[in-house]
Amino acid sequence: MESIAFFDAKPYDREWFDKINRDFEIRYFEGRLRPENARLAEGSRAVCAFVNDVVNAKTVEILSSAGVEVILMRCAGYNNVALKAAKEHGLRVLSVPAYSPYSVAEHAMGLILALNRKIPRAYIRTRDFNFSLNGLTGFDLHGKTAGVIGTGRIGRVFIDICRGFGMEVLAHDPKPSPDIPAQYVDREELFKRSDIISLHCPLTRETRYIIDEGAIALMKKSALVVNTSRGQLIDTEALLSALNDKRIGGAALDVYEEESGLFFEDNSDKIVTDEVISLLVSRPNVLITSHQAFLTEEALRNIAEVTLKNYSDYLSGGKLDNEVKAKDT
């Protein structure tokens, strides 16, 4: 039976992969995939990795020498994979491009509602029987303007949600779609006019730090920035500076540019030395979740099904619809 070396395995991963799997032996490893432990994959033709695994050129080289042929990314993103190195060593890279656009889009709106209406703060107060409403004022979403950067599957669902709230929607994407119910504008206009700016684009050379000091300078002082895509879409130090200077209304982040080694783990008994995220967490107008936007029953099922099908297609010599190649970056 063919085996898969499964890295950074969490209980929810095991639950769904064990439910779906019928054809493979899955060897689960709790540690993130990185050069120091890549040799553990020896004996498996495939490894299964996630967004914060370190699949750099050194890791790829070790995997190749261990007999690995396929890197199965159980996520849509692959910016952490050295694709050129994979190509040079003959490793195929397969991803899960669409597991559930609803999970991420709905989480983004949940973050907006929680941040705007101060729901976490209100919850903490009432736990202490403090029922004061002071400091909990938000604003109506109805009639406000949402700026959506990236109108792929997730962006489209998010636009529909915004329209359901009665919002005007501006959109920006290098490949506009004629069936999107939003007004496409350039980034500068989107930053200037939007009350809420939500990021739904992949991380590329062009989108890295798409939210930087210059972008923030164009925004309304009341604007809320939401990121459920990739951490490096935002220059976090520029964001923190703007929050400190009250040049922006607030931020809701499900991702963080330095999240590797921090997110997905329980660090409650440790001293976190990352000063930027420590300061962000302390701000009353910042809401952070731990890269959980994808975490729904439907998404986990789809991730397991597509990941295992990707490997079955590879072994059968079938068409690899979800293959990622170096030229795609």
Catalytic residue set: 230, 259, 291
Give residue 23's identity as a one-letter amino acid code: D
104, 123, 119, 280: which is closest to 201 by C-alpha?
104
The structure tokens listed for 205 are: 């050379």
Specify whether the backbone of 209 is left (phi greater than 0), alpha (psi in -120 to 50) or beta.
left
User: Would residue 185 be called left, alpha or beta, if left means φ above 0 and alpha means ψ between -120 and 50 degrees?
Assistant: beta
If you write DSSP's letter for every residue of 165-223 in order, what string do you get?
TT-EEEEE-SS--TT-SSEE--HHHHHHH-SEEEE-----TTTTTSBSHHHHHHS-TT-
d(CA 110, CA 289): 11
Best CA proximity match to 195, nearest among 166, 220, 215: 220
Under DSSP, the state recorded for 233 is G
Q: What's the angle, vertex CA 284, arms to CA 218 and CA 254, rounded to 5?
A: 70
- Which long-range contacts link 257-263 to residues 24+ away (Cβ below 8 Å)? 257/231, 257/232, 258/231, 259/52, 259/231, 259/291, 260/32, 260/52, 260/54, 261/32, 261/52, 263/52, 263/290, 263/291
Assigned token pair, 276 = 């930027």
- Nearest CA to 100 out of 256, 301, 320 is that of 301
Residue 155 CA to residue 139 CA, distance in Å, equals: 23
